[in-house]
A and B are shown apart, each in its own frame.
Chain A
Amino acid sequence: MRHSPEPPLRASSSLSRRSRRPRSGWRCGLSRCPPPGRAGRLSTVTGTQAQQLRKASGPRRRPLALLVGLLLAILTAAVGASPAAAGTRVGASTPELILLVGPQTGITAGHVGVHTLPGWQLASTTGVAAKGAPLALEASTRVAPWAGRTLSRLTQGQETMYRVWGGGSGQAGSWLTPVKPTSSAAARAGLALPAENAAIYVSEVAVPAGTRIQVGVAGEAFGMPGGWSQVELLERIPMESFGKGWLLGP
């Protein structure tokens, strides 16, 4: 997607005028701001001043105005630092908010990280308004494989370890243990194996000298308690290092 060059931020909104107004501290960012003298710094707005502010801008809009004002102050500073920056203009449904996004400003809708507010729209970098943008990322489905601290080290010589596999789990892979398993149930519990790993076989693995590994204790996961010593290979080792599997007892 090519961004057509546009003139610098020159929206006809009151924001442009306010951003040139010489004052320090808090910036309101709305068309109906209280006078600077009354607003003072953000940290000092308390008591009577707060009541006056509420009176000036309406009692229900104040928290929203603070939030939007803070956001605009940050964005205005970012855009204002490079007045020649041109990018895709992100428009709001009201003329009060104009954001510049694009490669020149280094700002994208994702970077802004704001939720769309009622009556407001954020555009994507394509310049098209993105309606109904998701409010949150999906929860991660990753499990924490470790309990407590881990140690990353290089193997000094060839080290013998074991890989438990079978069912959906393959003979070669990065997850090993220095503990020689004696039963499928014990391995599944101690290594916190997911149900897809049937733990039918165990293979001896000859980890070559100089291999980077991570060592720690298997954390509780997949309804299994963990607790065994566990190793993750942080680099690939040859297939020949993985011995033939033998059957684990139940």
Chain B
Amino acid sequence: MSHCSFSVLDRQLLIVDTSTGRVMWHGAPLGFPVEEVEPLPVGDRALVLLDYMSGPSGPFENLICVTCGGDVSWRAQLPSTSGTEAYVSFEIQGDELIAHAWTGHRVVLDPATGFLRESKFTK
């Protein structure tokens, strides 16, 4: 049972202790605005998609995993080295993390590490 909850407030990540209601962390992870957040089924962590438009030019590792303390535990590996590469969406299906990349790749990621398990070009 997770002891913290994750939500987005004004494009910032808000992490609250569920037992006390105390704010544990609030802000922009890595300095970028948040697009979407979803808690992982196990462990006190959540997946956070940072706004791909806010990142630097070049590949942007904008899918991250955040702990209750607001620390980034990993950044998801990208499927290509294209200068426009970034993630545009993600979803959790069972124990798999599925994500779509800007370059038209659908990838399967390891939710524990963010490593790429599989990548398919879907255009």
Residues on A lying within 8 angstroms of B by beta carbon are 143, 145, 167-175, 191-194, 196-197, 233-239
Closest to B90 in A: A170
Q: List 15 A-B contacts (CB under 8 A).
A: A143-B121, A168-B122, A169-B104, A170-B100, A170-B106, A171-B88, A172-B102, A175-B104, A191-B123, A193-B122, A194-B120, A197-B122, A234-B84, A237-B53, A239-B53
Chain B residues within 8 Å of A236, by CB: 52-53, 84, 86, 102
Q: Is the interface of A mostly helix, strand, loop or mixed?
A: loop
Chain B residues within 8 Å of A167, by CB: 122
Closest to A165 in B: B122
Nearest Cβ distance between residue A149 and chain B, in whole angstroms? Answer: 20
Which of the four size classes fits the interface of chain B? 10 to 19
Nearest Cβ distance between residue B101 and chain A, in whole angstroms? Answer: 8
Closest to A221 in B: B123
Contact A196 B122 (CB under 8 A): yes
Query: How far is A239 from B88 in the complex, measured between Cα atoms in Å?
Result: 8
Chain A residues within 8 Å of B106, by CB: 168-170, 196
Asked if B67 lies at the interface with its beta carbon under 8 angstroms from chain A, I say no
Asked if B12 lies at the interface with its beta carbon under 8 angstroms from chain A, I say no
Query: How far is A233 from B106 in the complex, measured between Cα atoms in Å?
Result: 18
Contact B122 A174 (CB under 8 A): no
Q: Mark B102-123, 1 if CB is under 8 A from A, else 0.
A: 1110100000000000001111
Contact B121 A173 (CB under 8 A): no
Nearest Cβ distance between residue B108 and chain A, in whole angstroms? Answer: 10
Nearest Cβ distance between residue B45 and chain A, in whole angstroms? Answer: 23
